[in-house]
Structure formats: structure tokens, C-alpha cells
Structure 1
Amino acid sequence: MRALPPVPGATADATLKAFVERAGGDPGVVGLVLSGSQVHDGMPTVHSDHDLHVVLRDRDASPLSELDRFRSAHLDLVVLTLEEFRHRGLPGSPDAFSRYSYVHARVLLDRLGGEIAEILDQKRTLDEDEARTAVDGFLDAYVNQTYRSLKSYRDGRDAVGHLDAAESVPYALEVLFALHRRVRPYNKYLRWELERQPLGDERWAVELLLPVLRRILADGDPHTQRSLFGGIEQTARAAGHGEVLDSWGDDLRLLRRPA
């Protein structure tokens, strides 16, 4: 029997409620997890839909498996098996990019005695080893991209220097959040995260960090790049990641502000 698409209600909330009741009556469904703007207080707008993850015992357990990637104005569905849910968003998986969607997600149904919630909790933060590996990798990538950019500016190639500067920003954010064992948020939620759970150091306060990032994205300003690098270098060294930085040797001189 083919799965019928969700019946649209008068509102997004009504559509979600009806589908949750339908999925809750399906014995093949072992979990329902809500994510997206609806789990970020203050973020939903009149245009916001509901992002729902439907966890099945296995692919043949329910006809709802046919609704994976269903999209409508009210409801977006990700339908996956329990085994797929265990690994989704984790390092090395093809959908590692989706990790942040689980950080503030809410469990609407857990038929496994708390197992859905436990799996979800493992995705919310980085464990100690994962965080150290992430910082080392992203820090090296950030230094590499910033070095490429500043070399181009030094050599009069401003246009390509600007492009490399823009590509350094995601790596910088990955480093800053991983240093706190946190998953880097999607850009949409960056201000939301920084306002509600600051990164500690005043340099990373939302009113200071965002203008720095926007300036680098706008024109790659070398002075601003060096200012950001100085803060990241100091923070990374204090957290025990100096070896990654020292591997760059004298090349770091180009990244530092003149004394």
C-alpha cells in the first residue's frame, strides 16, 4: 500500500498535529523528532514550516518510508531507519552537514524507552576527542585559507585574495565552536546561538564577531583578517592546539599584525 502524502491543515501546526497522530498510530514508527526554526525560540515566522524526522524500525516497517524528502509549505519530512538515525550528522557520514539540526531538536515520540532521546543527545555536542580532532583539522584549514588570502593581497591579487578570505570564515567558525565542544550552527542561527550561549571571550561576543566576519566577507580586508587570526591563535594556543599553529613555522608572520 502506497503512503498518502500528509493532509494539509488550516495551519502548519494543524498539519503537524495530524501527521504526528497518523505516524504515532503506525507500529513501524519508533521515533519522531522535530527540528528547524520551530525549536529555536523566537525564530519562527509566518512562513515557517515544521521539520520532522520520522524514525522507522527498518525500511520495510512502514509505507511512510516513501515520504522521505516530502516537502510542503507546512511540513518537511526526513524518513530514515533507526540505524540511519544513529549515524546521521556524525563525522564521516555523507550528511555530516546536518549535525546542527539535532542540537536543539525535540523528541515527539520515543517508542524505544528513551533510546531515541539518547541517540539525539549524542549529536547535540562534541565529545572531548571529537572536539580536539575537529579543532585541529579546522584550525589547519583556517590558517591555510587565511595564508593563501594574505599572500594574494601581498602580491597585488586582491580579487582572489578576497575569495580565499571568504572561504576562511566557515573554518574560523568551526574552530570557535569546536573549542567549546559545540556544533557550529547554520548561519541562520549564528546570532541566535551567540546571544543565548556566548563563546566566553568578549572578542567572540555577537556585537563584535559578526561585524568582523561581515567585513571579511565583504572585501577580505587584510587588517581585519589579521585581527581575527590573532584572537583565534591566542584562544587555540590556550586550549592546547599550538602544535597545529607551529607547524606553519615562519609563514605565520604573514598572518600576524605588525608589532
Structure 2
Amino acid sequence: MGITLGETPDDTLAAFTARAAADPGVVGLVLSGSRVHEGMPTVHSDYDLHVILSDQHASPIAELDWFRSAHLDLVVIPLAEFRTRGMPGRPDSFARYSYVHAEVLLDRLDGAIARIVDEKRTLRAEEARAAVDGWLDAYVNQTYRSLKSYRDGRPDMGHLDAAETVPYALEVLFALHRRVRPYNKFLRWELERQPLGEPRWDASRLLPVLRRILADGDPPTQRALFTDIEEGARRAGHDRVLDSWGEDLKLLRQP
């Protein structure tokens, strides 16, 4: 089973969605990717479409899972799997952000597809708390490793560890606000359109800090970022994780 590309991505999307809507085995269509982020699409942008299939009825569209073209990228997935896709503890948890701004184009289940997508858009309170605890511990651990290497005269190794702190720091910052960490491509977009609530996390202030850490692992910059994250984490009640590090935190704090 193939897909005939139209003259433009819009033409291809329109033709495929009409075809999918005519298939009784298709219960939902969900659009994600750059096309659902205002201002992000370029002339190279395709359409990222999730096709949700009924668990009871077979569909020939199942053969198109992971179809890729310059116009259209497909994820074809059974309803039962779609319910849990991107959620914590799954190997596809990386896919969670793809649903944060997703648009439901077809919902044959009286709103069930929309409700499933809505559950993926933000972190539940208990989920956010567990996420912060886990990512915060990882962030402190990696920052500690980095600063130990700088202290012990191994700046090249310290730099490598510093670079690995950045994803953990972002996970903590977004989870503190019950938000899914965006893909790096959309980080500035998120910070500018939906700020994290404090000026120090604005794109104009946070992104240069992250770039400096990635560029050379600068220890003072690492310590300044840790100080800000520690303050926010303690204010949100995550003292247990931080306090478990005991005297080791002295290495992470500003002199």
C-alpha cells in the first residue's frame, strides 16, 4: 500500500486524511510536529500525522507505519498502544512532547481521542513530583561529577560531564511547572510563548547559560545555574533529594 504525493504537502495531507477518514478501521488522526507550532514551519516542513487504528478492526493503513516523505510522516498505531504512548516508564516516553500542542483532526470515539491527547499534554501533580525527584537527583549527580573533575585538574572530562547536565536541568525546570520538556528545536519557542514564570528562566537569560555550559563547562556558570535550580526545587518541596547529598552540595554552590 502506497501514498501518492500531491504537488504540495497540503495537497498530500488533504488526500491522505480523506482516505483515512473513509477507512472504518481508523478511529483518530492527530497532527503534531512543526506544523502545530505557530511560526516554526519552513519550506522544508512536512506534516507529522498519527493515525490511530481500532483495536477490533484491521486496516490496510497499518502497512504505512513509519512512512516517510518530504510531505508526510506517519505513525500508525493501535488505540490501546496510543493510550500509553509517550507516558512514563515506556521506551517511547521520548514521544510525549509530540502531543503537547497536537491537533486532533479526526475523533470517531466521541471525544476519547481528544481526552487521551489532553492527558499527555501536561504532567499530573504526582507525576510531576516524581519526575522532579528523579531528574533532580540525576542533575545534581552529573553536576557533582563535572565539578569534581574540574577540581581535580581534569577539565576535558569535566566539560563532557557538564554537557550532560543540560538535559537533566531542563527536565527539572519544566517538570517543576508540570510541563513536558520540549524537544531542543522548540525550546526557545516554548520559553518565549509560555514562560516558566520567572525572569531567570526567560529565553534571553537561560539559553546563554546553557550555551556557555555546553561550550566549555564553565564551573561558575554551572554553580550559578545550580543555585537557581536548588532554590526553585526547595521552594517546591524537594528538599529530601537535595539533602541526601549532604556535604557534597558544597562543591556545587557558589563560593
* Same-fold call, TM cutoff 0.5: yes
Q: 4+ residue runs of structure 1 moved beyond 3 angstroms?
A: none
Q: Give CA deviations for 1:139-185 in whole Å, capped at 9, x if unaligned.
A: 00000000000000000000110000000000000000000000000
Alignment partners' CA distance in 2, 1:23 and 1:234? 50
Is 2:80 the partner of 1:63? no
Larger deviation, residues 242-251 vs 57-66 = 57-66
- Counterpart pick for 2:165 among 165, 168, 191: 168
Alignment partners' CA distance in 2, 1:132 and 1:27? 41
* Cα contact 1:56–1:80 (8 A) shared by 2: yes
CA RMSD of aligned residues (A): 0.7
Query: Which residue pairs with 1:186 in the alignment?
Result: 183
Alignment partners' CA distance in 2, 1:32 and 1:207? 36
Alignment partners' CA distance in 2, 1:227 and 1:70? 45
Query: Which residue pairs with 2:131 in the alignment?
Result: 134
Is 2:122 the partner of 1:125? yes
Alignment partners' CA distance in 1, 2:81 and 2:253? 44
Give the deviation of 1:58 after TM superposition. 2.5
Query: Which residue pairs with 2:205 in the alignment?
Result: 208
Give the deviation of 1:257 after TM superposition. 0.4
Query: Which residue pairs with 1:44 in the alignment?
Result: 41
Give the deviation of 1:59 after TM superposition. 7.8
Alignment partners' CA distance in 2, 1:123 and 1:171? 20
- For structure 1, the 5+ residue unaligned runs are none
Query: Which residue pairs with 2:154 in the alignment?
Result: 157
Alignment partners' CA distance in 2, 1:242 and 1:5? 55
- Counterpart pick for 2:76 among 70, 76, 79: 79
Give SS of 2:211's match.
helix
Give SS of 1:76's match.
strand
Is 2:104 the partner of 1:107? yes
Q: 1:245-256, aligned counterparts within 5 Å?
A: 245-256=242-253
Is 2:235 the partner of 1:238? yes
Query: How many residue pairs are counted as aligned between the two chains?
Result: 255
Partner amino acid, structure 1, of 2:252: L
Give SS of 2:75's match.
strand
Give SS of 1:224's match.
helix
Give SS of 2:31's match.
strand
* Cα contact 1:68–1:80 (8 A) shared by 2: yes
Alignment partners' CA distance in 2, 1:163 and 1:257? 21
Alignment partners' CA distance in 1, 2:153 and 2:199? 34
Query: Which residue pairs with 2:25 in the alignment?
Result: 28
Alignment partners' CA distance in 1, 2:73 and 2:59? 18
Larger deviation, residues 4-13 vs 133-142 = 4-13
Alignment partners' CA distance in 2, 1:52 and 1:5? 16
Q: Give the % identical residues.
A: 75
* Cα contact 1:35–1:102 (8 A) shared by 2: yes
Alignment partners' CA distance in 1, 2:125 and 2:55? 32
Give the deviation of 1:61 after TM superposition. 1.4
- For structure 2, the 5+ residue unaligned runs are none
Give SS of 2:58's match.
coil
Partner amino acid, structure 2, of 1:206: A
Q: Give CA deviations for 1:1-51 in whole Å, capped at 9, x if unaligned.
A: xxx222100100110000000000000000000000000000000000000
Alignment partners' CA distance in 2, 1:49 and 1:183? 23
Query: Which residue pairs with 2:217 in the alignment?
Result: 220
